[in-house]
Amino acid sequence: MVGLATVFGAGGGTSSYEEVENSDLIVLWGSNARAAHPIFFHHVLRALERGAKLIVVDPRRTESAAFGDLWLGIDVGTDIALSNTIAQEIIANDLQDHAFVANATENFEEYAESVAEWTLERGEEVTRVPAEVIREVAHLYAQADRAMICWTLGITEHHTAVDNVLALINLGLLTGHVGKYGSGLNPLRGQNNVQGGGDMGAIPNKLPGFQDIVEDPDARARFEAAWGRPIIPRYGWHLTDMFHAMDRGELTAIYCIGENPVSSEADATHATPLLENLDTLIVQDIVMTKTAEIADVILPASNAAFESDGTVTNSERRVQRVRKALDPPGEAKDDIWIIAELARRLGYDWGDLTAYDAWEELRSLSPMHANMSWGLIEERGGVQWPCNDEFPDGAQFLHARLWAFDDPARQGRKAPFSVVVDDPPVDLLSEEYPIRLTTGRRLESFNTGVQTAGYTSPLRRPEAVELSAADAEALGVVEGERVLVSSRRGEVEAPVHISSALRQGLAFMTLHFPDEVETNRLTIEAADPKSGTAEFKATAIRIDKLLAEVP
């Protein structure tokens, strides 16, 4: 979100699912959408049925890669190197969109200079993707009529998260694959309403509608007038900052809603005691999570999707209605009711607050939601922001303004290229920790398993450390054998699963089954300074046999 907001001013994916179907080239970069976003992948499949090409960039040869025309088995954490090499190949062959670069972007010269050293040979050396494949991708992407880059956590769960996103945006700017139908730059949101959370201001530096707390005094004044309180023009902490602040003893109380950091935080050995040592930990959740178990106060909540009314926003910026279908059990209450009740106990009577009331207030304060009434959302089955006087029906894709070369007023701020520098994962491989562990999702499971543990999936198999056949042979371990997996921060025991998706030196685990294997005891808390996203995708590990060799 930070990357897109920095370049374009709006932190949302630029395109619609329908455009994916009508694109000519789709690049899934650090995304295993077939497993993690299956119904988005249906739109990709429609494009493939139409004859579009699919390129998958992923260290693992995933289920998505199996559908690809090309699979780029990149070395973990070399995304910037790959992007810069593609850019250099495009520029060296003069395949960039000259008109777009000249009229709609800034900082091209400096960018071109910064990628000049990234010859195909150097790119291959760093990324381990064959030079001729990088070359083919560069030419396909530059010459496609319509092309999309879609990414997920394979891009953002790195200490270079924001730079990784900027590197992909650079490619879109270079080739003019943004701001027009069927071309775009799209983060696929991993969790329901991640987009909506950002839209609503649940990020440290923005008010609702991506209005900057510090840099936008007009917006701040409108919120101050509506709320009758001064707003301190100061950025807050993102998640990783919060843990650092806990470490320093500055952050002593947390009100945690629908999040399970005891299981989901990287470097759990370090993170969990920080949560335990808080003066106050309040957890509001629908089930007894591991975080709830160590809380001082638990507020049982109703389920947001099935037991309450409101809205969410999906990966194509579509605001959608959620509706109450079930009565919550026992004493569980709606999130809005709980928050309003807390306010009442603190001396503020907000009356009988509903999701509709909250939405109407949002519309009055967030210009990009101004015309988006619940009535319109109902009628259209969801509306894509922005929806205001300029876009009364919402916007199928963003940034068409950039193409208004002859109308500077309409075009607005040009999109800047960003100079981004290759920066390998923090957790370096060494003789002691020679294997690169990466993490990801399985089709039938979700995050820390709080939700998916509730149903019996025939696809589910126990958590394991997945290894290539070559590594398993070198280590003398077999399928199902329990081994000790260690990183510089912790160790866990796990059975081995041999996977043909992996090459030698690469291992894979999920975070789905913390009760079986606490993978986050291994992961590193090194985080991007701008987004606060931890480097879950790159851990250096070693694997040791637990059983003595049979003579």
Nearer to another protein, 41 or 508 (CB): 41
Binding to another protein by residue 403, rule CB under 8 A? yes
What character string, x for contact with another protein (CB under 8 A) and - otherwise, covers 176-215? Answer: ---xxx------xxxxxxxx--------------------
Span interacting with another protein, options 232-240, 323-331, 340-348, 511-519, rule CB under 8 A: 323-331
Using alpha carbons, list the distances in angstroms from residue 352 to 12, 217, 309, 321, 406.
Answer: 32, 31, 14, 20, 51
Alpha helices in 418-501 (DSSP H): 469-475
Q: Is 292 an interacting residue with respect to another protein (CB under 8 A)?
A: no
Beta bridge partners of 294: none
Report d(CA 70, CA 491) in Å as an integer.
36
Q: Name the segment binding another protein (CB under 8 A); options: 70-78, 315-323, 517-525, 540-548.
A: 315-323
Among 251, 257, 453, 475, binds another protein (CB under 8 A): 453
Residue selected from 409, 459, 548, 550 as contacting another protein according to rule CB under 8 A: 459
**Residue 218 Cβ, how far from another protein at the closest point, in Å?**
30
Burial of 372-395, coded b for 16+ CB within 10 Å and e otherwise, reads bebebbeebebbbbbbbeebeebb
| Least separation in angstroms between CB 94 and another protein | 21
Q: Among 283, 322, 355, 511, which residue sits at the site for another protein (rule: CB under 8 A)?
A: 322
Q: What residue type is 18 in one-letter code?
A: E
Q: Confirm or reject binding of residue 375 to another protein (CB under 8 A).
A: no
The region, left, alpha or beta by phi > 0 then psi within -120 to 50, assigned to residue 176 is: left
One residue of 67, 108, 337, 374 binding another protein per CB under 8 A = 67
Q: Is 98 in the site for another protein (CB under 8 A)?
A: no
Return the range that interacts with another protein (CB under 8 A); candidates 206-214, 400-408, 508-516, 524-532.
Answer: 400-408
Give the SS3 label for residue 84: helix
The reply to whether 260 sits near another protein by the rule CB under 8 A is no
Kind and range of the H or E element at 391? none
Q: How far is the CB of 403 from another protein (least distance, A)?
A: 3
Please provide residue 374's backbone torsions phi and psi, each rounded to the nearest 5 degrees. Answer: -60, -35
* CA–CA distance, 366 with 26 (Å, rounded to integer): 32
**28 DSSP 8-state letter:** E
Residue 20 Cβ vs another protein, minimum distance, rounded to whole Å:
11
The stretch among 23-31, 113-121, 318-326, 416-424 that binds another protein (CB under 8 A) is 318-326
Single out the residue of 78, 88, 264, 303 in contact with another protein (rule: CB under 8 A).
Answer: 303
Contact between 286 and another protein (CB under 8 A)?
yes
Cβ burial, residue 293 (10 Å; 0-12/13-18/19+): exposed
Alpha-carbon gap, residue 20 to 452, rounded angstroms: 29
Q: Which two tokens stand for residue 443?
A: 């089709």
Q: Is the peptide bond before 230 cis (omega within 30 degrees of 0)?
A: no
DSSP SS3 for 148: strand
Q: How many residues contact another protein, by CB under 8 A?
A: 66
CB of 367 to another protein, least distance (A): 22
Interface residue with another protein among 314, 439, 448, 533 (CB under 8 A) is 314
Binding to another protein, residues 6-35 (CB under 8 A): 17-18
* 493 backbone dihedrals φ, ψ, rounded to 5°: -100, 140
Interface residues toward another protein, by CB under 8 A: 17-18, 36-40, 42, 45, 49, 67, 179-181, 188-195, 286-287, 303-307, 312-316, 318, 320-327, 329-330, 332, 381-382, 396-397, 400, 403-404, 443-444, 446, 450-459
